[in-house]
A and B are shown apart, each in its own frame.
Chain A
C-alpha cells in the first residue's frame, strides 16, 4: 500500500473481532473488513484475495504440490483443539446480541457480500443440503459442498443453461447440456468441457459478527425460501 509492504501484529479486539496494527505506519486495521480504522492509513482497505476453507484431504487432492504451514513448535501445545469452534458456541458469550431469524450469536455462517446484497447461509444447513441454488442480489449463485461433505464453495451460475444437480461423486451436472462439473466449478466432460464457473467469495463467520458488519443482511432458510430483508430486483 502506497509502495509500502505492511507487516501486521495482533493489537487489540473490537466487539470480539480482532484489531491488528502495521509496523510501518502504526495504523489499526479491523480483521473482518480489512479496513484501517485509525492512524495514517485510516479509511484504506486491504484487498481481499480468494481463499477456501477446505479439509486437508481434499486440498491435497487438488494441490498435491501444495505447501502446508509448519506449526511453531514452541506454541503447538496451545493451538486450538478439534471442534474448537463448536465448543466456543457453548462456552464463550458474545458482547453483541442479534437474536434474529432464530440464530444463535455464534451460529456458524457462510456470508456472501456481492451483487448488491449481503446474504448469510447457516453452514450446517449448507452441508446438509449439499447443493444450494439461490440468488444473491441480481445474480444466480450456488453453494456446492465438496466430496468430503465439509468444504463449501460458492459460484456464479448466471447465463448457464438449465439447472444444476448434485451427483453421487460429489460433483454436479447441469440439465441444460448434461455436462459434469467438479468441485472446482469446472466442467470435466460434456458439451461445456473446460468451462469454469466464476467463484464467489464466501466468508465463514459467527452470526453476531456477520450481522454486526452487514446490518441489512438477508438469511437463507433452505429449499429456496427467503427470510430477512431483500432489495427489490
Chain B
C-alpha cells in the first residue's frame, strides 16, 4: 500500500504542478522538477517493492483471504510505473527526430510562409515556423556546430 501511495505521488505531483493552464510558482516548480528527476528510479523501486510484497503475501496469506485486493494493488503500482515512462508532451507534440532537409529551391511552400533562418559559415538552414511551432524542438547540426532549434 505504501508503494502505491509513493508511486502515485511520483507520477501525480509533477503532472499536477506542470500543467499548461496553470501558474507555476518558482518553488513548487523546483519541487516538481526534483520529483521528476527521481521519478524513474522511484517508480522502479515501487514496482519492485509491490511485486515482492505481493509474493510474500501470497506465500503467507491464510487460505480464505481475498487475493483480489493485493493483486489489484500490485497491478496498479506496475501500471503507474509504466505510465510514468510515457512523456505526455511528446505524445501531444511528436518529436521531429533526425531532421531531413531539401534545397529551398525545391520547396513548394508559399513565399509568405515564415521560416527561422540560421547560418553557420556557408551552411544556411531554414525551419518553417508552422512546423517547429508544433515540434517545438529540432536537434540539429549546422556548419559542424551542434544546435537545438526551439520555438
Q: Can you list 11 residue pairs at the A/B interface with Cβ under 8 Å?
A: A11-B87, A28-B36, A38-B30, A53-B115, A55-B111, A63-B126, A67-B101, A69-B125, A69-B126, A72-B135, A80-B129
Considering residues A6, A26, A71, which has the most beta carbons from chain B within 10 angstroms of its beta carbon? A71
On A, residues with C-beta under 8 Å from B are: 5-16, 18-20, 26, 28, 31, 37-39, 46, 49-57, 59-60, 62-72, 74-76, 78-82, 84-85, 93, 95-96, 150
Given A5-B146, A64-B104 in contact, is the A56-B114 Cβ separation under 8 Å?
yes
- Give the size of the chain B interface in residues (CB under 8 angstroms): 65
- The residues of B that contact A16 with a CB separation of less than 8 Å are 20
A-B contact count (CB 8 A): 195
On B, residues with C-beta under 8 Å from A are: 14, 18-24, 29-30, 33-34, 36-37, 87, 89-90, 93-97, 99-105, 107, 109-120, 122-139, 145-148, 150
- The residues of A that contact B18 with a CB separation of less than 8 Å are 12-14, 19
- The residues of A that contact B145 with a CB separation of less than 8 Å are 49
Docked pose: A26 CA to B40 CA in angstroms: 11
Docked pose: A117 CA to B55 CA in angstroms: 64
CB distance from A127 to the nearest CB of B (A): 13
Docked pose: A9 CA to B104 CA in angstroms: 27
